[in-house]
Amino acid sequence: MFIFLMTSLLSTTNLVGAARGVAIDKDYDKVPDCLDKEPNSLIGAPVDEDGVALDDDKDGIPNLYDREDRTPLNCKVDKFGVAADGDRDGVPDCLDA
């Protein structure tokens, strides 16, 4: 219930801002929705100037949730950004010989 109330409050605040001529920013990343390339980015996720959640290692997992922030390029990762290591030797499969 708390989440619903907070969501309602945040939405109402945004609508009031729109009525006053303030640009709408539904995901609160400080990039107006009209310019935002990712208008539904996760609340609290650091974003770039285009409103896209940062993903420094380019593995498809936003930094906010990435447990392995330096995944080698082109490695398959799980939903937490951890590179696959099928043989559990500590070396990601993409680098295993």
CA separation (Å) from 41 to 60, 62, 63, 72, 85? 13, 9, 12, 24, 29
Percent of the chain surpassing pLDDT 70: 79
In the chain, domain spans:
1-41, 55-97
**Could you tell me which residues come within 8 angstroms of residue 93 by beta carbon, excluding any fewer than 6 positions away?**
75, 76, 83, 84, 85, 86, 87
Q: Distance (Å, rounded) from C-alpha 70 to C-alpha 8?
A: 37
- pLDDT on residue 17: 53
User: How far, rounded to the nearest angstrom, does the alpha carbon of residue 78 sit from its chain's CA centroid?
Assistant: 15
Burial class (CB in 10 A: 0-12, 13-18, 19+), 42: middle
- pLDDT on residue 73: 92
Question: Which band of pLDDT confidence, cut at 50, 70 and 90, is reported for residue 89?
Answer: very high
Is residue 60 within 8 A of residue 66, CB to CB? The reply is no
pLDDT tens profile 43-70: 889 999 999 999 999 999 999 999 999 9
Instruction: Give the residue-averaged pLDDT of 11-20.
Output: 54
Q: 0.75 exceeded by the pTM?
A: no
pLDDT at residue 13 is higher than 60: no
